[in-house]
Amino acid sequence: MAQHAFCHVEWHVSDLERAKGFYSRLFGWSFEAYGDDYLMFQTPSRELGGGLFRTSDPVKSGASPLVYINVDDIEGYLNRAVQFGGAVQMPKMPIGEMGWMAILTDPDGNAIGLYKSANPDFDSAKYPLNAFCHVEWQTKDLAGTRAFFEGLFGWRFENTFMETYQTYMTPSEEVGGGIGLADTVQAAASPGVYIEVNEIEDYLSKAIAAGASVAVPKTEIPGHGWFAHLQAPDGNTVGLFQSGHGQG
């Protein structure tokens, strides 16, 4: 996994078996239990997977960050999502000449973006179906949020759309995303997006210097490594992960 690339996407759910059934039937993701309250999953890309975390608290879902999944038939996925207990939050709509998007919610209310490319030469080997393809944050300050992610992780910002949206690419060149201008930021605890770093304390210190705060300090994941949560200046939660591979 490349340094400063996305490494894990995590949803909070109230019913693990119901959520497992929803995501496995809708996207075909494979699952493996990790303890009694956590299910790890893998998408077809093998580059980026995630987990489902059982919580007894109300699921705090929101619009930011929003994770998009690459599909070949948006209407078909929306119909199946409803059939499996989800709902349509935003119907299929065009994105200029790039393709189409839609947003659905799972049975817990977590938002999930769908994307279909209009490019007949879209690289399906690099971006396989039912895999993550885009991670999007809301912001009240495009320049400030861009500076935050550039300075903290060195992400490469690219295109600007309508002066209210900028795209970026992480070092993995597999999954990038965008930041969009909004009057208010509806930050969510679910899904949680984690970024690979080599030393969590260093990144927490840099984040604080850039105007962020620590939401969850460095915490051990026995046998795997450590994680932490920081709160970006706009209030968005960003997860950090440090692998324990080869240590101890």
CA 2 to chain centre: 16
**Confidence at residue 31, expressed as pLDDT on a 0 to 100 scale:** 95
**Confidence at residue 248, expressed as pLDDT on a 0 to 100 scale:** 41
**Confidence at residue 124, expressed as pLDDT on a 0 to 100 scale:** 61
In a domain? residue 16? yes
d(CA 237, CA 118) in angstroms, rounded, equals: 32
Beta bridge partners of 67: 135
- Domain containing 69 — which CATH number? 3.10.180.10
Place of tokens 């060149």: 173
User: DSSP secondary-structure letter at 107?
Assistant: T
In a domain? residue 248? no
CA 17 to chain centre: 21
List, run by run, the mean pLDDT of 10-residue segments along the chain (248 residues): 85 96 95 93 83 92 91 95 96 91 96 89 70 93 94 89 87 87 90 94 96 96 92 94 71
199 within 8 A of 242, measured Cβ to Cβ: yes
Residue type, 45: S
In a domain? residue 1? no
In a domain? residue 163? yes
Q: Which two tokens stand for residue 192?
A: 């949680």
**Confidence at residue 61, expressed as pLDDT on a 0 to 100 scale:** 87
Q: Which two tokens stand for residue 17?
A: 């078996």
197 within 8 A of 3, measured Cβ to Cβ: yes
Q: How many domains does the chain have?
A: 1
Residue type, 242: Q
Using CA atoms, how far residue 190 sits from 50, 114, 144, 244, 246, in Å, is 12, 17, 24, 24, 30
* Host domain of residue 123: 6-243
In a domain? residue 155? yes
In a domain? residue 100? yes
Prediction pTM value: 0.91
